[in-house]
Amino acid sequence: MTVVNLQYYAQLREQAGSSGEQVQTAASSLRELYDELRIRHGFSLAADALKVAVNAQFSAWDRPLREGDTIVFIPPVAGG
């Protein structure tokens, strides 16, 4: 099991009911982690609609998780 820190923004923050959390996960990649979180929090956005950053750097969805990573799932932003 790996412990990671999560930060949520916009729609994901609303659906999770929190701006962040620390989770212990058996997921081996960012995509697997997001799939777990979709089930837990009922996230309506598919992973393909999001960007993901790990430790303040954009990352590929297949990146392995490492103990203590800070992960931010970034939803699309609308505005004018």
Is the separation of the CB atoms in 56 and 7 below 8 Å? no
Q: Does residue 79 fall inside a structural domain? A: no
What's the pLDDT tens digit per position in 32-74?
Answer: 999 999 999 999 999 999 999 999 999 999 999 999 999 999 9
Show the domain range for 51. 2-74
Written as one string, the DSSP assignment of 29-59 is: BHHHHHHHHHHHH---S-GGG-EEEETTEE-
Examine the pLDDT at 78 and tell me if it is beyond 70: no
* Stretch 20-36: mean pLDDT: 96
Q: Does residue 80 fall inside a structural domain? A: no
CATH code for position 13: 3.10.20.30
